[in-house]
Each structure stands twice: as structure tokens, then as C-alpha cells.
Structure 1
Amino acid sequence: MSDWAPVFISVVLFILLSPGLLFQIPGKCRLVEFGNFQTSAISILLHAVIFFAVIAIFLIAIGVHMYLGS
């Protein structure tokens, strides 16, 4: 059986944490901007750190597993 949790969680977090898609930290004018579809180098770095922290929490600390099939 294959564990699909890392794949599923990574894809969902990648979509949700793409800078400028839903939100951007830091924004160009404010600390947090929503749905502006723009990005900067510091925003990419900060979103990558947040992605790594959340994926580590879900996969290592909590130990989420998802098995498909019978």
C-alpha cells in the first residue's frame, strides 16, 4: 500500500500558499494583501518557510497517513 498523505498535503498546501493567489505576506502596501496576483522575492521566501513548517508539522509531528485501495 502506498501512503498518499505526503502527496495530497503537499499539493493542497502548494496551491493555498502560492504567494499572491489567496494572500501575500508581506504585501507591497500592507503586511497582508489578499488576492493581488503579485509577488516579490521576500514573499516567496516567507511562503516557502511557512510551507516547510506546516508540511513538517503534518507529516512528521502529527504523522498523517492516507491509504487508498483495499
Structure 2
Amino acid sequence: MSDWGPVFVAVVLFILLTPGLLIQIPGKSRMIEYGNFQTSGVSILVHSVLYFALICIFLLAIGVHMYLGS
């Protein structure tokens, strides 16, 4: 059986935390901007740190596992 939990968590977090797609922290004119499809170096750094922290929490602390197949 394959453990698909880490793959699922990584893909969902990547989609949610892509800078400028849904939110951008910090934005160009405000602290949080929604759906502006722009990014900056600072927002890439902030989103990368958030991604790393959340993936560590979900995979190491909580231990998300999804077993698919026979």
C-alpha cells in the first residue's frame, strides 16, 4: 500500500500558498492582497516559510496518512 498523505498535503498547500494566486502576504499596497496575480521577493519568502511550517506540522506533528490501493 502506498502512503499518499504527504503528496496530498504538499499539493494542497502548494496550491493554497502560491503567492498571488489566492492571497499575497505582504502585498504591494496592503498587508494582505487577494487574487492579484502578482508577487515579490518578500512575499515568496513569507509564503515559503509558511509552507515549510505547515508541512512540518501536518506531516511530522500530526502525521497525516492516506493509504490507497490494495
| Corresponding residue of 2:23 | 23
Matched, 1:61 2:51: no
Q: Distance in 2 between matches of 1:3 and 1:53?
A: 21
**Runs of 4+ residues deviating >6 angstroms:** none
Number of equivalences: 70
Q: Which runs of 5+ in 2 are unaligned?
A: none
| TM-score after normalising by structure 2 | 0.97
TM-score by length of 1: 0.97
How much does 1:43 deviate?
A: 0.3
Report percent identity of matched pairs.
Answer: 74
Residue 40 (1) aligns with residue 40 (2):
yes
Q: Equivalents in 1 of 2:19, 2:64: separation in Å? A: 25
- Structure 1: segments with no counterpart, 5+ residues: none
CA RMSD of aligned residues (A): 0.6
Post-superposition offset of 1:24: 0.2
Q: Which has the higher strand share?
A: 2
* Alpha-carbon distance, 1:69 to partner: 1.6
Aligned partners of 2:47 and 2:12: how far apart in 1?
A: 14
